[in-house]
Every structure is written in C-alpha cells, then in structure tokens.
C-alpha cells in the first residue's frame, strides 16, 4: 500500500486496528536529521495523518549497519514468537537410563533462520496487491486473485517481488526483480581466520555438506603416488595440520553454494579437516540469521546425582 494514497492507507490501518493488529512504521533518517530533530515536510505530513491511530507507531532510526542488523534480529524474534507452539521431542533408548526410564523429553529451538538472498519477481493486481499465481503476458488470463475479475494491463504491476507465499513488495520501475547471477564452474573462497572446532557452536552450521578433495589426482592414489603434484601435497598437508590442531578455516564468498548463485549478501563457510581424507565445507549462518536461544542457565536444584551419573554411563555402555 503506497503512502501516496493516504485515504486508502488510512482505511487499511483502521481495518488493522479493528482486528487488533499493531503497525510499526520505520523512518530511516541521516545522522544530522536524527540528532537535531529535522523531519522532512512530507514525512511530517504522513505522521500527522496517522497520529490519532492507537495501533500505529512511528520509529526513527539512523540507517547504520549495526542499527539495521538489530532491527532484523528483533523482527526475526517477533516472527519466531508468532509461530506455532514449542516443538517437542522424545529421545527413546533401548535400555533404561535409570530404573525403568527409557526416554528423555526435550524442547527443540531453531538456532538459525535462513535469510533468502534475493526474491523472485512476480505480477500483482493493483486493486488488492495480491500476487497473480501464473506470470503471463497473455492479458486475457489476468484475473484478480480475490474477486476473479478480469484485469486490464493498467491493473497489473510487473515491478514486484514475492516474499513468502502471499506477501508482495512493490519496487520502483527501475529496480525490477532481483536476478542473481549463476556461478561458473569455479567458486572463490577467501580464507579469513582459523577457529577451534572444539569450541565451535554447531548451531550456526547450516545447509548441505560439500566434500572437498584436491582437483588434481584421484584421492586414493594421491596419498601414495610419489609423482603427485604440489597442489595435492599442499591440500593433504593443510588437512593433516588442521586436524592435529583441531581447527577449521572460516572462509567467505559472494557465492551461495545452496543456490549456486552470486548473491548480494556475503556468505561464510567452515572448512573442516579429516585425519587422512577429504575435508568438508559447511555454510555458516550470518549474524542476521542467528536466532536468540532461551535461557540455558541450569538451576542449582538440577545437580546430577551420582546415582543418575552411574546409571547413565551403564546405559550408554550398552549402545554399540
């Protein structure tokens, strides 16, 4: 809904108020305007139009990266709170852990939320702002998803992107959709730092694992062949050294290996060594994707007794 159509916007906000829906407006202002309270005339006029609506709040922020990251985290937390109830799980054991108890009840929390880099273009009706399921240039097939009314070309916008199933973001004509470039056969990863694997938070590791081997020779031959090239020797030397140090390499790339496209967001990866063979490449969640976890401080009353400790050790010894 455009702020250039104040009456339609106000009606939508009043409908939201009747359904007890709160609406936050974010105003991103330069540092000077933010410090000295200089509000542009058009922004001030907009605020005056909605100031009497109790369900509307206007928040002003300085558009710095850390401020925007904080907003993203807060919105993700709000979305998380709006989701379904806590996911519960039961871990079943073949043998009793203590006495006749063979299970442990737990709550599951997502540690990270994948943020899509780029959104697909779509067509949407201007009357309701709803996406049209099938993108087509055939004007006869343009139908409003809400009323099933046939739409003219002037009733349809092509400069929109789809966010989720039913959410549409309208962009200026010059922006269009986000067409991400597909990667070529070679991907560049910049090594940033080493990290201790023992202290690595596995909750930030996302997506599929990619096996990494030297591109020169066959893996089995490379370990014994005296003529193996320098690239292979360096690879296994790096792998063995990292394994002895129990460390991995944090890398960055503009390529998202999940989608195999060059994105606008920088992606981070962890290169994990093995003792004698290949390495694994896993994607790491960015700071914007990491979700806050519940308080994990143990209650002083939950101290593990010696009886439970011994019983657990006995039960685990029976698992092959």
Which has more pLDDT, 144 or 270? Answer: 270
Q: Is the dihedral of CA 154, 157, 158, 159 positive or negative?
A: positive
Architecture of domain 182-284: Beta Barrel (2.40)
Asked whether the predicted pLDDT for residue 40 surpasses 70, the reply is no
Share of the chain above pLDDT 70, in %: 70
Rounded to two decimals, the pTM is 0.52
Q: In the predicted model, is pLDDT for residue 271 greater than 80?
A: yes
- Cα end-to-end span (Å), the chain: 60
pLDDT of residue 122: 78
- Percent of the chain having pLDDT more than 90? 6
Q: Say which range, 95-99, 181-185, 187-191, 262-266, has the weakest mean pLDDT.
A: 181-185
Non-local (6+) Cβ contacts of 104 within 8 A are 90, 91, 93, 97
Every domain range in the chain assigned CATH 2.40.290.10 = 182-284
Per the CB < 8 A criterion, the answer to whether 290 and 297 are in contact is no
Q: Please name the residue that has the structure tokens 């129990």.
A: 246
pLDDT tens figures, 10-39: 788 888 888 777 888 888 877 655 555 556
- Pairing type for strands 56-61 and 23-28 reads parallel
The predicted-structure confidence for 162-210, as pLDDT tens digits, reads as follows: 776 667 777 665 444 455 556 566 788 889 899 999 988 888 888 888 8
* pLDDT of res. 139: 54
pLDDT of residue 218: 47
For residue 2, what pLDDT is reported? 46
The confidence score (pLDDT) of residue 266 equals 85
Least confident piece of the model among 35-44, 69-78, 113-122, 185-194:
35-44
Q: What is the SS3 string spanning the chain?
A: CCCCCHHHHHHHHHHHHHCCCCEEEEEECCHHHHHHCCCCHHHHHHHHHHCCCCCEEEEEECCCHHHHHHHHHHHHHHHHHHCCCCEEEEEECCCCCECCECEEEEEECCCECCCCCCCCEEEEECCCCCECCCCCCCHHHCECCCCCCECCHHHEEEEEEEECCCEEEECCCCCCCCCCEECCCCCCCEEEEEEECCCCCHHHEEEEEEEECCCCCCHHHHCCCCCCCHHHHHHHHHHHHHHHHCEEEEEEEEEECCCCEEEEEEEEEEEECCCCCCEEEEEECCCCCECCCCCCCCCHHHCCCHHHHHHHHHHHHCCC
**What is the pLDDT at residue 118?**
62
Query: What distance in Å separates the CA atoms of residue 249 and residue 193, rounded to the nearest whole number?
Result: 6
Q: Which two tokens stand for residue 184?
A: 């070529």
Token digits of residue 46: 């907009």
pLDDT given at position 115: 66
Q: Given this model, what pLDDT does residue 81 score?
A: 57
pLDDT score for 175: 47
Higher pLDDT, 86 or 212: 212
Instruction: Return the residue matching tokens 């099938």.
Output: 134
Q: Could you give phi then psi for residue 255, rounded to 5 degrees?
A: -95, 135
Contact 218, 237 (CB under 8 A): no
Average pLDDT over residues 291-304: 69
Q: What angle do CA 166, 155, 126 make, to 5 degrees?
A: 35
Question: Could you give the CA distance from residue 59 to residue 110 in angstroms, rounded to a whole number?
Answer: 29
What are the pLDDT digits (tens) for 137-161? 555 567 887 888 888 888 888 777 7
Mean pLDDT over 225-250 rounds to 82
d(CA 269, CA 282): 5
């Amino acid at each position: 809904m455009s702020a250039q159509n104040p009456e339609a916007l106000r009606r939508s906000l009043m409908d939201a108020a009747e359904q007890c829906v709160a609406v936050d407006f974010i105003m991103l202002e330069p540092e000077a305007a933010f410090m000295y309270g200089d509000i542009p005339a058009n922004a001030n006029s907009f605020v005056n139009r909605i100031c009497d609506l109790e369900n509307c709040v206007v928040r002003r922020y300085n558009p710095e990266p850390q401020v925007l990251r904080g907003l993203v985290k807060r919105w993700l937390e709000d979305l998380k709170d709006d989701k379904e109830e806590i996911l519960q799980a039961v871990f079943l054991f073949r043998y009793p852990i203590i006495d006749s108890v063979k299970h442990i009840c737990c709550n599951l929390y997502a540690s990270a939320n994948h943020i899509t880099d780029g959104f697909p273009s779509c067509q949407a009706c201007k009357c309701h702002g709803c996406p049209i399921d099938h993108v087509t240039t055939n004007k006869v097939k343009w139908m409003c998803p809400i009323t099933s009314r046939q739409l003219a070309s002037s009733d349809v916008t092509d400069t929109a992107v789809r966010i989720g199933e039913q959410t549409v973001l309208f962009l200026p004509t010059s922006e269009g959709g986000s067409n991400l470039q597909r990667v070529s056969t070679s991907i560049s990863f910049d090594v940033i730092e080493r990290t201790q694997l023992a202290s690595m938070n596995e909750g930030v590791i996302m997506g599929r694992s990619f096996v990494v081997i030297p591109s020169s020779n066959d893996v089995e031959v490379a370990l014994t062949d005296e003529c193996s090239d320098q690239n292979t020797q360096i690879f296994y030397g790096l792998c063995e050294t990292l394994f002895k140090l129990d460390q991995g390499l944090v890398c960055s790339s503009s390529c998202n290996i999940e989608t195999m496209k060059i994105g606008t967001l920088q992606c981070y990866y962890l290169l994990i060594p093995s003792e004698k063979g290949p390495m694994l490449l896993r994607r790491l969640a960015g700071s914007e994707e990491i979700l806050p976890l519940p308080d994990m401080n143990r209650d002083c009353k939950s101290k593990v007794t010696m009886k439970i400790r011994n019983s657990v050790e006995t039960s685990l010894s029976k698992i092959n």
